[in-house]
Chain A
Amino acid sequence: ETGVTQTPRHLVMGMTNKKSLKCEQHLGHNAMYWYKQSAKKPLELMFVYSLEERVENNSVPSRFSPECPNSSHLFLHLHTLQPEDSALYLCASSLTGVNTEAFFGQGTRLTVV
């Protein structure tokens, strides 16, 4: 248990559906991250929020929409996804300026059908 909780753990959605992934941490961290991990590939950084402001967006398609309403919660809103978006989506958090080791959630396994 890392202190970073992701829900749901598994999600199957159709290409026309809208769904959201949720990430929550109560570690007092002020930076949160979304990563995508496709089969047999390294983790890809998608979004970074620091102090609730988006500071990084690595050319992610607009069908992925992040939201960070406060420092403890992070969402990834999904709409009109493609089958190639099927992957493990990981959330992480860290404390900037002091220790930047990141704590990861267990991920959401997303399958787009």
Chain B
Amino acid sequence: DAKTTQPPSMDCAEGRAANLPCNHSTISGNEYVYWYRQIHSQGPQYIIHGLKNNETNEMASLIITEDRKSSTLILPHATLRDTAVYYCIVGGKTSYDKVIFGPGTSLSVIP
């Protein structure tokens, strides 16, 4: 079973920041938070991951709360191509991992 909860859907205006929340209250100390997205009928795409520090790459920023029970993925300037289902997943990094997906958040970027 997925160990995260996300809102089923969100809207964001084009050019604005999209903030996607995720709750993972049962996360254990050695588990990372991963984000993927899936554009319609394509394979999921890895976005970013982190342990406890905030992370940023060319695609997005990941903000993890100090207690690690929740996180937020930030797309700083959403475009229409960012319309997708976004998945938040927790998993370990020291052994093979079962990448288990929940229903995710369907983000619609509106012109």
Contacts and interface: CB of A to CB of B under 8 A. Distances in A.
Interface of A: 2, 4, 31, 33, 35, 42-43, 45, 48, 50, 55-56, 88, 90, 92, 94, 96-107, 109
Given A42-B101, A42-B103, A42-B104, A106 B95 contact: no
Given A2-B45, A43-B44, A100-B91, A92 B99 contact: yes
Contacts of A99: 93
Contacts of B99: 33, 45, 92, 94, 100, 102
Contacts of A109: 41
B96 A55 contact: yes
Contacts, number: 68
Given A43-B101, A45-B99, A101-B34, A90 B94 contact: no
Contacts of A55: 96
B4 to A, nearest CB: 11
B97 interface: yes
Contacts of B94: 97
The number of chain B residues touching the other chain, given as a range, is: 20 to 34
A31 B95 CA distance: 10
Nearest to B92: A100
Interface in B22-45: 32, 34, 36, 41-45
Interface string B35-59: 0100001111110010000000000
Nearest to A30: B96
Contacts of A45: 98-101
Given A101-B34, A102-B36, A104-B44, 20 more contacts: A2-B43, A2-B45, A31-B96, A42-B2, A45-B99, A48-B96, A48-B98, A55-B96, A90-B43, A92-B43, A94-B99, A96-B97, A97-B93, A97-B94, A99-B93, A100-B92, A100-B93, A101-B46, A102-B97, A107-B43
